[in-house]
Chain A
Amino acid sequence: MKLSQLKENEEGYITKIKGRGAFRKRITEMGFVKGERVVVVKSAPLRDPVEYFIMGYNVSLRRSEASLIEIITKEEIANLKEEKYNGILSDEEIKKTAKLKGKEIQVALVGNPNSGKTTLFNHASKSKEHVGNYSGVTIDSKLAQFKYGEYKINITDLPGTYSLSAYSPEELYVRKFILGELPDIVINVVDASNLQRNLLLSTQLIDMDIKVVIALNMYDELKKSGDTFDYDGLGKMIGIPIIPTVGSKGYGVRELFKKVIEVYEDRDPNVRHVHINHGQEVEKSIKKLQDCIWENKRLTDLVSSRFYAIKLLEKDSAAQFTLSKWKNWNEIEGIAKEEISRLEKLMLDDSETILTDAKYGFIAGALKETYKGNRKERVRLSDHIDRFLTNKYLGLPIFIFFMWFMFQVTFKLGNYPMAWIETAINWMGTQLDILMNPGPLKDLLINGVIDGVGGVIVFLPNILILFFFISVMEDTGYMARAAFIMDKIMHKIGLHGRSFIPLLMGFGCNVPAIMSTRTIENRNNRLVTILINPFMSCSARLPVYVLIISAFFPKYPGTVLFSIYLIGILLAALMAIIFKKTLFKSDEVPFVMELPPYRIPTLKSTLRHMWHKGEQYLKKMGGIILVASIIIWALGYFPRDVEYSKDYEGIISHLKEGKPNQEQAPLTQAQLNLNSSISKKIRTLEMQMKTEHQANSYIGRIGRTIEPVMRPLGFDWRMSVSILSGVAAKEIVVSTMGVLYQTNDQDKQMNEKLAQRLYDARYTYGPLKGKRVFNPLTAYSFLLFILIYFPCLATVVAIKNEAGHWKWAVFSVLYSTGLAWFVSFVVYQTGTLIGNLL
């Protein structure tokens, strides 16, 4: 708790001093040090200041100052020591606990996008955050906690930013976090292969006068390029220790946190606050503003007056807003305007540019002394690859080829392990059939659980292969190129390349993809990107595609799968154009798209990505898919007492009575023929009875209610029910089909693949009775419906959260389902018409 929270006569023990600069120095000199006892003597009449007793004398502090001192009370210490506590706490023990409590360090990770923050975070915290070789992977702050020696480190991964201005939501977020949460140490992750640009953020952190440690990440790349960099020398020059790291391999991570502790405990002699020299004239303006800002002591105890002075000269709106709440704002504002105008007239440039130029000048100077570049070869290599991959004419066909190749391999290679899993599942079904007596439980296990869950689990290899490719494309840097290639096309549909990253992420899961739209500043562009995102086929839809395609398009599976993904992308583009021209008209914002150098992905990172995805898939099997399969089975199994069109049981028993007894004597040929004919009749009757039962079961009734709406698309009631169940999660479409499309021949049921059962499925009633349910046209129309309709529930909630209102979630559900119906209708009816004409 904070010292300011203590009441009169209460006491506590100091665990940490926050704040900065002069305040910190003064307060420490007064005796406010870790482990020291402090008692509240009394408050002034207006509750401020408060008198405290420390080290044998009384000191008075303002509440705002006291709020920067963290303490622990005796009760809290006793609670911490619950097991050993015997009612007495010795002074030594209390001081020790207070000091130990002070060994909890709040660390914030900041850095440019794609500088490897998240990789470093994952390595340090053993976490599995998603990492990609393109900017904007971190869309929110992430927290983790771990122990380093006797220190507890709470680490926060903040979104990537190029600077700490107030232009983008990420920049503001990072700035607010540093100024509001006051982390003990900020780790500035700097990409060693792009020092100049990365160090701009470091210079702004220097302005903030906070404790910083620089992680010189991807140091191996710098070394490999043959460059030499005296990072130690630079660290001494700027007063910030620099530790080389390779986040992906974990090199230097221990040293980094060792240094964090040293800086936290003020044990590093090289740490000092330096002023970046912005030139005589700018410095004069900064000083003038600082003098005025200093009058607000409560503010400058927390944030450097120099930082605010610089920000005001940069015309930073967030700084203006913060300072406008302080008493002498009018005076500050007046001076700021005056100084900006003086500088702009003097230097004939925008004040912001003047300050940024000065910072780059500082960086250039610092690097000139410490850095010797020999990076021609690597840049040339990346450039060389780019000349081909992002070529004006070849770029797009190459990208399309890569996508096609990815789906082709997903299919072809996935078929082998898929067949093994299928065999294992069939074997399980057969064993259960042999071991168990007939009854509802046996039916539930075989036709519900095994057919439902087993039907979905076979697609695990396909999911893993697809994610292997996506992961490789992301980690190498090709995805960033894909965004670059698509940038021009995105501009044509009214969005910019930045919207392409969330769309790409949608291939994995639409939920994080929709969340990642936070990086898009323009609200209208953001809403359009959110609304078109569900057209990107997420991995949950892949099992449905693979099932239907393997049943009805065995000759060109990869191409058909590719066409579905492509139609999704084209539809997204089309809808974006329509939305931009009708609902969300807005101007384009210029945007720089960065191309990170190509990197060879580590096997560990790729496998971890794949495994993470596989793990989620398997978890879904044991959870939502299993539950849904059981419920769908129960809805199809009950009620048991349905009214049949004829007395099947009576007829069957009558037929059984007429069968010649095989045990009595060897049967003649005529009797054998009769026996076989009766058995066939019985099987047909049983089949009719089962089908009639299913059609009259609860699920049959639901299906037949919605069937008229879906009939124009060529769907039977079982397809309609499968679509309905897919609302919860798209994989459930497959498990529902597994439960609903049963053959009536038990032996066949055991061994027949779901794809084959779909192929054999026929209408059992109505005008189409006896005809096949599926043909390639119906199958394709079904695939399109699955692609376009209702995004799953989780996505709908994500849309609501990100768009800020339920109306957008409802709109998304309605327009996508309506569009799905329309597209499937057009495809099915046009196809049927052409088929009839031919």
Chain B
Amino acid sequence: MIQEILTYIIVFSATAYAVYKTVLFLTNANNNSCSGCGGQCSIKQELAQKKNIV
């Protein structure tokens, strides 16, 4: 029973995370700045740095 509950929690959390990331990704896709490559490009770092300065 506990195993089942934990499994459901993990699976739903993962799904929610995936949906959240997809929405975030699509929002970013439209603001013409970040492609959402997961930090592989330097732009993400640049944005983070800009944020720090502001």
Known: A439-B7, A634-B11, A798-B41. 8 other contacts (CB 8 A): A144-B49, A154-B53, A437-B3, A509-B37, A509-B40, A616-B40, A627-B21, A798-B37
Complex-state Cα separation, A144 to B14, whole angstroms: 34
Complex-state Cα separation, A145 to B51, whole angstroms: 11
Question: Judging by beta carbons under 8 Å apart, are A616 and B39 in contact?
Answer: yes
Contact of A143 among B18, B40, B50 (CB under 8 A): B50
A729 at the interface (CB under 8 A from B): yes
Question: Judging by beta carbons under 8 Å apart, are B3 and A794 in contact?
Answer: no
How many residues of A sit at the interface, in one of the four size bands?
Answer: 35 or more
A residues less than 8 Å from B37 (CB atoms): 509, 511-512, 792, 794-795, 798
A801 at the interface (CB under 8 A from B): yes
Question: Judging by beta carbons under 8 Å apart, are B41 and A624 in contact?
Answer: no
A441 at the interface (CB under 8 A from B): yes
Complex-state Cα separation, A505 to B37, whole angstroms: 15
Give the nearest-CB partner of B5 in chain A: A441
Residue total for B at the interface (Cβ-Cβ under 8 A): 32
B residues less than 8 Å from A792 (CB atoms): 37
Contact with A along B43-54 (1 / 0, CB 8 A): 101100110110
Chain B 24-39 residues near chain A, CB threshold 8 A: 25, 28-29, 32-33, 35-39
Residue among A140, A439, A442 facing the most chain B CB atoms (10 A cut-off): A439
Question: Judging by beta carbons under 8 Å apart, are A441 and B15 in contact?
Answer: no
Complex-state Cα separation, A792 to B42, whole angstroms: 18
Chain A 257-302 residues near chain B, CB threshold 8 A: none
Of A125-133, A167-175, A230-238, A422-430, the one contacting chain B is A125-133
A800 at the interface (CB under 8 A from B): yes
Contact of B32 among A141, A441, A729, A801 (CB under 8 A): A801
A630 at the interface (CB under 8 A from B): yes
Give the nearest-CB partner of A626 in chain B: B14
Question: Judging by beta carbons under 8 Å apart, are A145 and B38 in contact?
Answer: no
Contact residues of B with A, CB < 8 Å?
Answer: 2-4, 6-7, 10-11, 14-15, 17-18, 21, 25, 28-29, 32-33, 35-43, 45-46, 49-50, 52-53
Could you tell me the distance in whole angstroms from the C-beta of B15 to the nearest C-beta in chain A? 6
Could you tell me the distance in whole angstroms from the C-beta of B30 to the nearest C-beta in chain A? 9
Contact of B38 among A129, A144, A794 (CB under 8 A): A794
Give the nearest-CB partner of B1 in chain A: A439
Question: Judging by beta carbons under 8 Å apart, are B38 and A631 in contact?
Answer: no
Question: Judging by beta carbons under 8 Å apart, are A797 and B49 in contact?
Answer: no
For the residues of B in contact with A, the DSSP-based class is helix
Complex-state Cα separation, A189 to B38, whole angstroms: 31
Could you tell me the distance in whole angstroms from the C-beta of B54 to the nearest C-beta in chain A? 10
Q: Which 6 A-B pairs have the closest CB atoms?
A: A794-B37, A439-B3, A441-B3, A511-B37, A798-B35, A630-B14
Complex-state Cα separation, A626 to B15, whole angstroms: 11
Could you tell me the distance in whole angstroms from the C-beta of A726 to the nearest C-beta in chain B? 14
Give the nearest-CB partner of A145 in chain B: B53
B residues less than 8 Å from A800 (CB atoms): 29
Contact with B along A795-812 (1 / 0, CB 8 A): 101101100000000000
Residue among B11, B15, B21, B33 facing the most chain A CB atoms (10 A cut-off): B11
B residues less than 8 Å from A666 (CB atoms): none
Complex-state Cα separation, A508 to B4, whole angstroms: 41
Chain A 582-641 residues near chain B, CB threshold 8 A: 616, 619-620, 623-624, 626-628, 630-631, 634
B residues less than 8 Å from A793 (CB atoms): 25, 36
Question: Judging by beta carbons under 8 Å apart, are B38 and A619 in contact?
Answer: yes
Could you tell me the distance in whole angstroms from the C-beta of B24 to the nearest C-beta in chain A? 12
Question: Judging by beta carbons under 8 Å apart, are B42 and A130 in contact?
Answer: yes
Could you tell me the distance in whole angstroms from the C-beta of B45 to the nearest C-beta in chain A? 7
B residues less than 8 Å from A624 (CB atoms): 21, 38
Could you tell me the distance in whole angstroms from the C-beta of B18 to the nearest C-beta in chain A? 5
